[in-house]
Copies of this chain bind each other. A is one copy, B any other.
């Protein structure tokens, strides 16, 4: 999918507008790249994919667009073990699985309320506004997809 659908474009414009920023071709393209292939790409990978759709874009702009998308709440950063930051447009609460063998990162859906309930382990003085859950291991073979 080379361009953003009407619904996604609407989502983008609304979110950007809400945070006082503009929708631009670069931002649309980067957002489209993230929506199209949800494999938690790094900035480098986003750059390569975006460049194939918009050859004139620069690395700096990719970083700027990603930051804009994050600040508008449309995209989350996923940091794993000091590896380069990855980007995830899945806004539902979810966990991540990091495969030691391939380095790939997968979304793990969790039952509603699971992430919130985790904060029950926190002593009262800790006020958590976000919860991050990461599993690490390997995929049962025959499941490299």
Contact = CB atoms under 8 A, between A and B. Distances in A.
Copies in the complex: 2
Nearest to A133: B133
Interface string A106-129: 101011001000110111111111
Interface stretch (A13-21, A22-30, A61-69, A77-85): A77-85
A82 B85 contact: yes
Nearest to A82: B79
B140 A135 contact: no
Contacts of A139: 125-127
A130 interface: yes
Contacts of A136: 128-132
Nearest to A100: B129
A70 to B, nearest CB: 12
A137 interface: yes
A143 interface: yes
Given A129-B136, A133-B131, A136-B130, A95 B81 contact: no
Contact of A95 (B79, B85, B121): B121
A59 interface: no
A74 interface: no
Given A125-B139, A126-B139, A118 B131 contact: no
